[in-house]
Amino acid sequence: MKSQIMLPHTKGKKSSATIPIAILSFLFGCILSTTIVLNFFITSPSFNSIENNYGMNSLPRRDVALSNTVVDGQQADSIISSSSLSSSLKNPFDGIKIIIAIAAFDFSQIPHLEEVLDAYQDLCVTGASKVDVVIHATVAYPVTLIDLLNSRLLPVCRDVFSVTIVLKPNSLRLHLVDCHRELFYEKIDDYDLFIYTEDDIRVTPKTVGAYLSETNNVQSMVGIERSSDFNVGIVRYEYNFPNNVVMDDKTRHATQNVTRVYWEHGFYPIFPKAMEQIETSELKESYVQMHNHHQGMFLATRFLLKAWKERSNCNFNVASNRPGMKGHESQPAMGTQRVWMSSQMLYSKKHCNVQQVLPVESFGTLTVLHLPNKNYRRVGHFRNRTFSDGTEVFDHGLAGSLLTAMTLHIETRRVMKQKPTTPYWGIRMVDEIGSRRKDRSALLERRMGEYQAYVDRGGIMSDEDMEKIELVEER
């Protein structure tokens, strides 16, 4: 028996026309009721409170903008200013230009660098008008790896996001971390935000947005003139996975007590062994600093970089050698060169004397994942553990038992017809190694030649390229 829609009985003669009329009346009533209810909630204070609390269409707590601000008759370029904000401005990235410099000596941390690049590419869909990544390296990248990384670039970000690999002489060694200083000050008027980082720190748009928000807040609390005395900091974390088990389906319960750990900082008492209160009266209730200032990275606005260049005992634009211990100059007094360049020079009271600040209320937004997830094993109950002696053989499973990203990529390129892109818009590689014979090698010349041919073909690999799956430097 077919189901029927039962309508209320009406007096008089029944008509088939009553059914569609009733349905239309019912639908009209639903629309009218919904409109009334939505209008009530949207205009009510409670709805607006929910929007503010959960950051709908905005970062929580504050709106942020980059603007030009006049200080004592002079213009402060691209300082973050709360005076220019309007209630309609919600996106802290709207229109800003960002440059990121990454020190990546060789391929020893290539899995981490791939994740780092993916995280920075996320910035291209935040509203930023330009996001340029510069990787300082000493080893030329093979065409196969460049083509694989190109396949991860969003076409819609073509005019916003770019990656350039700048090759430097291998003789720089630990001083490869210095290269970002010259780059930043050479491009100081081209960008609003500058980020330097090692190649194993995952920085998300949330981190960058938090930095912009808190920098704006610090400026509003201490004033523009004093704001260059402070910089919003970063804290690195790892996950304390157990050392005595291999994680698989049968041991996944071992992660139930795994948590983030700040391995570089003291444990007890938290104040002052890990954290310290800030003496500045305007900030002491809302901000703290870490006892160990090392971050492995830093962020700075154009305004701050210009101010630090002129700051007494700072000269932040000049890449200096890390201080040595008195009488034992070969031993670092304030950390290695990378520690000095990323953090200690900036925050040391003997040098730049900039105050590191971290917000108490939203501390977690400025913590970043140290992707190797290994340094926590150096401390605590892992301290006496026996580490590698270089003689062990690593078991990566049977050869070919797992489908790798590179194998899949190459085979896809081989089977499917490739379409050239003219002009080429993928990852660029620039040779700045110089002409000294000892700095140049046959491998470098070959890879640069293969790269140029790849670009000339519009980003199309040759059959010879696809036969070479090179991820590490040839010996």
Residues 45 and 81 in one domain: no
Determine phi and psi for 287, rounding to 5 degrees.
-130, 150
Residues 188 and 149 in one domain: yes
Residues 94 and 40 in one domain: no
More confident residue, 427 or 254: 427
In this prediction, residue 96 has a pLDDT band, given cuts at 50, 70 and 90, of very high
Residues 249 and 299 in one domain: yes
| Residue 9 falls inside a structural domain | no
Residues 199 and 157 in one domain: yes
- For residue 436, the SS3 value is coil
Give the pLDDT of residue 385.
62
Give the pLDDT of residue 93.
93
pLDDT digits (tens, 9 = 90+) for 150-206: 999 999 999 999 999 999 999 999 999 999 999 999 999 999 999 999 999 999 999
Region 206-211: mean pLDDT is 97
Beta-bridge partners for 194: 99, 300
Region 40-56: mean pLDDT is 38
| Residue 130 falls inside a structural domain | yes
| Residue 35 falls inside a structural domain | yes
| CATH number of the domain encompassing residue 188 | 3.90.550
pLDDT digits (tens, 9 = 90+) for 101-151: 999 999 999 999 999 999 999 999 999 999 999 999 999 999 999 999 999
Give the pLDDT of residue 247.
84
Q: Using an 8 Å Cβ cutoff, are 207 and 368 in contact?
A: yes
Give the pLDDT of residue 420.
95
Residues 56 and 102 in one domain: no
Listed residues 345, 362, 382: the one ending a domain: 382
| Residue 448 falls inside a structural domain | no
* Total number of domains in the chain: 2
Give the pLDDT of residue 19.
57
Residues 121 and 266 in one domain: yes
Half-sphere exposure of 124 (CA within 13 A, CB side): 19
- What residues make up the domain containing 47? 31-60
Angstrom distance (rounded) from CA 131 to CA 289: 29
Give the pLDDT of residue 44.
44
Residues 159 and 217 in one domain: yes
In sequence order, which residues have a C-beta less than 8 Å from that of residue 241 and are 6 or more positions away? 247, 254, 255, 258, 373
Give the pLDDT of residue 329.
84
| Residue 408 falls inside a structural domain | no
Residues 281 and 254 in one domain: yes
Q: Using an 8 Å Cβ cutoff, are 270 and 321 in contact?
A: no
Tokens 């209160």 label which residue?
277
Residues 172 and 48 in one domain: no
Angstrom distance (rounded) from CA 346 to CA 369: 22
Q: What length is written for the chain?
A: 475
| Residue 210 falls inside a structural domain | yes
Q: Using an 8 Å Cβ cutoff, are 335 and 212 in contact?
A: no
Residue 460 has pLDDT above 60, yes or no: yes
